[in-house]
Amino acid sequence: MTAPGILAWAKVWAYGAEVDTDVLAPGLYMKSPLEEMARHCLETVDPDFVPNVRPGDIICAGRNFGMGSSREQAAQSLVFHGVAAVLAPSFGGIFYRNAINHGLMALVCADAPLISAGHHVSIDAVNGVVRDLDSDTEYACNPMPPHLLAMLANGGLVPHLEKRFSQKDTAWPSIR
Amino acid sequence: MPQTLAQKIIAHAAGVETVAPGEIVTCNVDLAMIHDSGGPRRVQPILEKLGVDVWDPNKVVLISDHYVPAVDAESARILDLTRKFAAAQNLPNFYDMQGICHIVLPERGHLKPGMFVVGGDSHSPTGGAFGCFMFGIGATDMAGVLATGETWVRVPETIRIEVTGGLPLGVSAKDIMLALCARLGMDGGDYEVVEYIGDTIDALSMAERMTLCNMAAELGAQTGLIAGDETTAAFIRNAGADPGDITRWQNDADASVRESHVIDVAALGPQIAAPHSPANSGPVADTAGTKIDQAYIGACTGAKLVDLHMAAKVLKGRAVASGVRLLIAPASQKDMTAAAADGTLATLTEAGAIMMPSGCGACAGYGAGVLADNEVCIASTARNFKGRMGATTSDVYLGNPYSVAAAAVAGEIHDPREFLS
């Protein structure tokens, strides 16, 4: 990431609507360490994902991505594989928070299902622009709220909190 | 500006007069509920990294329910860590193997109207049945709450669902929710608040109201909400707590809501959700005849005392079909004890049910009772996502406890009304 919320060139993995948390982080492996759990990420819908995903790739999916459980391993497994962003028309509310908390960009993009697997895109989450570089098509997305961009810039909630506690600041730096 | 109940609770927690939908505010948390899976084992390393303890041990409730009792070295380690965390942080409210968190929390008098509560579990909306704004968050979010006592929220709009009519024979709150999942979809709640009102709600027990709010999660809502009334107050008093001022925590009559829906339950029959989504719900006739290997009555959604009573009505004097296993994990130790005292437990076991410990069990594939390849299960739980209860190739159908018990007796999905009169 060159700047918070900016991706210059990312390969797309495309999925349908309602990719749920059990598919992203199967319950059978919840006791296991993240590296074991992440090996099973998305395997029930796409066994090719784990062997072939590369750091910097992104996911474009249908609505309600990450619906279901509060288990943040769903987001962490994607981060483990280096997924740089997930674009979808809507997200499971808990997944959305979990993603940002782990430094994973989650972008509300109504046209995300139109973007093809294997294409390359650029993303500007600050201004809300996604460009398919292979088809030279521009799509609008919702700009990320500033307090979440700040958290993303810090690398997620824990580094964000570390900053807060090290500054002996009594308020959330990005919200108040 | 007239306020919805959700707005009133959030404004109070944020220390302001009013809030508007879409606004992002920081709230003081009245109570944080954590469990053994997303709790200590995941928040402790973060608290250590930050060099802080829990902000207020009196505002934290810790419940072990996901890995109980331990089945292997790893689950034993997780539970050991959970117990040590409770001791190290001096948590006065630690319920070890007493039942599922969403049930134990109100059962022990921790919820009352007007509270702003976070739970480290996606079925935390269950607490909304008590007029609280209670929603689920992930472990890192929870660590932030435990460290600071605060969290941010985007003020949600309210989606109002008016439920009207008397519940017919063999129909329960679970059917209302399955019907709503089919009608509105798994994102119909759109991370807003789903609020239930109407004459059906007024007449419902707290246990059934909890089922409605519990499955607001399946509608994709941030939470479910039911304003408190005398039923709420009586439940809280019975749990040994003070319900506070019920009249303060109500909607303003002219508060605006995003959308309203009406569901008349007088014409509703038992609903079954086919694999792999609660939104694949329809009348039991659509799936009747589907052979099953396992029937499971469990989870925060479908194993409270009222749910055990429903199952017992079907199982009284009947037997589980040969080749089928009926597993029942009561939602809490208190519910199990009550079921033993009123004879329900005997009815269940005489019919051939296998009783399991109170806990989350097989619902999310964590505990005992998971499924083999190609097995078919009907469950009183909330979710039937692919692979959730075990093997990727297994199929899970969802129904109310009457329907699960009826399927166990018939060996296949079956209209439970034939067993009720």
Q: What is the pLDDT of residue B192?
A: 98
Q: How far apart are CA B223 and CA B213, in angstroms?
A: 7
Q: What is the pLDDT of residue A167?
A: 78
Percent over 90 (pLDDT), chain B: 97
Reported as a single tens digit per residue, the pLDDT across B165-179 is 999 999 999 999 999
Residue type at position B381: T
pLDDT band at residue A2 using 50, 70 and 90 as cut-offs: low
Helix (H) or strand (E) holding A140: strand A137-140
Asked whether the beta carbons of A4 and B347 are under 8 A apart, the reply is: no
> How far is the alpha carbon of A94 from chain B, nearest alpha carbon, in Å?
6
Reported as a single tens digit per residue, the pLDDT across B306-320 is 999 999 999 999 999
With CB atoms and an 8 Å threshold, state whether A102 touches B140.
yes
pLDDT band at residue A164 using 50, 70 and 90 as cut-offs: confident
Tell me which chain A residues have a C-beta less than 8 angstroms from the C-beta of B46: 158, 161
All structural domains of chain B: 5-264 (3.30.499.10), 270-419 (3.30.499.10)
Reported as a single tens digit per residue, the pLDDT across B220-258 is 999 999 999 999 999 999 999 999 999 999 999 999 999
pLDDT band at residue A22 using 50, 70 and 90 as cut-offs: very high
Put simply, whether A89 touches B (Cβ < 8 Å) is no
Chain B (313-352) residues lying within 8 Å, Cβ to Cβ, of chain A? none
Q: What is the pLDDT of residue B331?
A: 98
> How far is the alpha carbon of B24 from chain A, nearest alpha carbon, in Å?
8
Chain A (35-54) residues lying within 8 Å, Cβ to Cβ, of chain B? 43-45
Chain A (112-151) residues lying within 8 Å, Cβ to Cβ, of chain B? 145, 147
DSSP string, B178-192: HHHHHHH-TTTTTTS
Residue A169 has pLDDT above 60, yes or no: no
Q: What is the pLDDT of residue A174?
A: 42
Residue A1 has pLDDT above 50, yes or no: no
Put simply, whether A168 touches B (Cβ < 8 Å) is no
Chain B residue with minimal CA distance to A169? B148
- What tokens appear for B401 in the block? 């406890």
Chain B (145-184) residues lying within 8 Å, Cβ to Cβ, of chain A? 147-148, 150, 152
Q: What is the pLDDT of residue A176?
A: 33
Helix (H) or strand (E) holding B309: helix B305-315
Q: What is the pLDDT of residue B367?
A: 81
Task: Report DSSP state, residue B263.
Answer: E
Asked whether the beta carbons of B134 and B117 are under 8 A apart, the reply is: yes
Residue B80 has pLDDT above 50, yes or no: yes
Tell me which chain B residues have a C-beta less than 8 angstroms from the C-beta of A158: 46, 49-50, 140, 143
Helix (H) or strand (E) holding A35: helix A34-38
With CB atoms and an 8 Å threshold, state whether A22 touches B383.
yes
> How far is the alpha carbon of B387 from chain A, nearest alpha carbon, in Å?
7
Residue B321 has pLDDT above 90, yes or no: yes
Mean pLDDT on B283-304? 98
Reported as a single tens digit per residue, the pLDDT across B85-126 is 999 999 999 999 999 999 999 999 999 999 999 999 999 999
Asked whether the CA dihedral B379, B385, B387, B393 is positive or negative, the reply is: positive
Q: How far apart are CA B136 and CA B33, in angstroms?
A: 9
Q: What is the average pLDDT score of chain B?
A: 97
Q: What is the average pLDDT score of chain A?
A: 93
Shortest CA distance to B301 belongs to which of B187, B133, B189, B173?
A: B173
Q: What is the pLDDT of residue B306?
A: 98
Q: How far apart are CA B129 and CA B138, in angstroms?
A: 21
pTM: 0.96
Task: Report DSSP state, residue A105.
Answer: E
Reported as a single tens digit per residue, the pLDDT across A137-146 is 999 999 999 9
Reported as a single tens digit per residue, the pLDDT across B254-280 is 999 999 999 999 999 999 999 999 999
Put simply, whether B48 touches A (Cβ < 8 Å) is no
Non-local CB neighbours of A86 within 8 Å, separated by 6+ positions: A58, A59, A60, A61, A65, A66, A78, A99, A104, A105, A106, A107
Mean pLDDT on A43-52? 96
All structural domains of chain A: 6-144 (3.20.19.10), 145-176 (no CATH)
Cβ-Cβ pairs closer than 8 A, A with B, add up to: 137
Identity of the residue in B120, B137, B147 whose CB atom sits nearest the CB atom of A97: B137
> How far is the alpha carbon of A64 from chain B, nearest alpha carbon, in Å?
6
Q: What is the pLDDT of residue A168?
A: 60
Mean pLDDT on B283-291? 98
Helix (H) or strand (E) holding B273: strand B271-273
Put simply, whether A111 touches B (Cβ < 8 Å) is no
Q: How far apart are CA A35 and CA B207, in angstroms?
A: 39
Mean pLDDT on B27-46? 98
Put simply, whether B38 touches A (Cβ < 8 Å) is yes
State the Cα torsion B345-B348-B354-B355 to the nearest 10°. Answer: -20
> How far is the alpha carbon of A158 from chain B, nearest alpha carbon, in Å?
7
